[in-house]
Amino acid sequence: MARLTGKTAIITGGARGIGRATAELFAEEGATVIIADIHEPDAVNNPAISFVPLDVTQLDSWQTLVDSVLAQHGRIDILVNNAGLVGSYEPITKIDLDDWHRIVEVNQTGVFYGMRAVIPAMQAQHAGSIVNVSSIWGIVGSSGVAAYQASKAAVRMMSKNAALSYVDDGIRVNSLHPGLASTPMIAAQDDAITADVIASTPMKRAADPREIAYGALFLASDEASYVTGIELPVDGGYTAP
């Protein structure tokens, strides 16, 4: 028996990177997967995976997505709020204000909108699992990256808040904290920053996105039926010291 048989999952930012690896793993494990992204994914060959355009910062679009998934599949078992961006590596006094607002809008408000849109359906089912993708930089500090750190730390606490607020509705909410994973986001970043993060990672390597996806799979599946409100680092030991 596959680990997500019969479940319907929405994965934001699933067109590439960690979201794409999660979509493929969830489909292999028996889920019906809806990738919700501003970009259409390339070469999806699995009939269990479909694509719906979504900008996570648009609450109306979230409602349209939820309505269409409910109309087509009857339920939403899993939401992985994965869409996100680093956006700026600048500290508080230097970050461009538009960058600040955009990063918070996508990384924090996007996760808030996702939960706001999906929780009523999960309440009606009296079941659901939400996995909010934060970061190692939502747990431990780093210099610069002010908006990213603030927004990812907010994701961690919003997850605990939702876990406690909706525990009586049978809804589990957890945050996932990836370390450095080899994705297009990281390919686009300055090599010196990547080398620095790897040097601070006890395993001294980046993760394959699938290694992060396995963390999401555990939290999403019924194997985690007694797990809510936790922060799960999948980080090669980065947050251990």
Ligand X SMILES: NC(=O)c1ccc[n+]([C@@H]2O[C@H](COP(=O)([O-])OP(=O)(O)OC[C@H]3O[C@@H](n4cnc5c(N)ncnc54)[C@H](O)[C@@H]3O)[C@@H](O)[C@H]2O)c1
Residues that bind ligand X (CB under 6 A): 12-13, 15-19, 37-39, 54-57, 82-85, 106, 110, 133, 135, 178, 180-181, 183-186
Q: Which is nearer to ligand X, 4 or 133 (CB)?
A: 133
What is the nearest approach in angstroms of ligand X to the Cβ of residue 16?
A: 4
Minimum distance between the CB of residue 229 and ligand X, rounded to whole angstroms?
A: 19
Computed on alpha carbons and rounded to an integer, the radius of gyration of the chain in Å comes to 17
Smallest distance from ligand X to CB 230, Å: 17
Q: Which of 103/119 has CB closer to ligand X?
A: 103
What tokens does 104 get? 């918070």
Q: Shortest approach of ligand X to residue 86 CB, angstroms?
A: 7
Indicate which residue of 89, 113, 148, 166 is catalytic: 148
Listed residue (181, 177, 178, 153) closest to 231, CA to CA: 177
Tokens of 41: 């994914």
Instruction: Say if residues 49 and 35 touch (Cβ distance below 8 Å).
Output: yes
Contact (Cβ atoms closer than 8 angstroms) between residue 132 and residue 174 = yes
For ligand X, give the closer residue by CB, 111 or 121: 111
H or E stretch covering 65: helix 59-73
Strands (E), the chain: 8-12, 32-37, 49-53, 78-81, 128-133, 171-178, 231-234
Please, what's the b/e burial string for 195-225 (b: 16 or more CB within 10 A of its CB; e: otherwise)? Answer: eebbebbeeeebbebebbbebbbbbbbeebe
Q: Which is nearer to ligand X, 21 or 163 (CB)?
A: 21
Among 6, 83, 29, residue whose Cα is nearest residue 52: 83
The least distance separating ligand X from the CB of residue 5, rounded to whole angstroms, comes to: 26
- 148 counts as catalytic: yes
Q: Which DSSP letter does residue 109 get?
A: I
Given the complex with ligand X, which of 127 and 198 has the nearer CB atom? Answer: 198
Q: How far apart are CA 49 and CA 52, in angstroms?
A: 10
Catalytic residues: 148
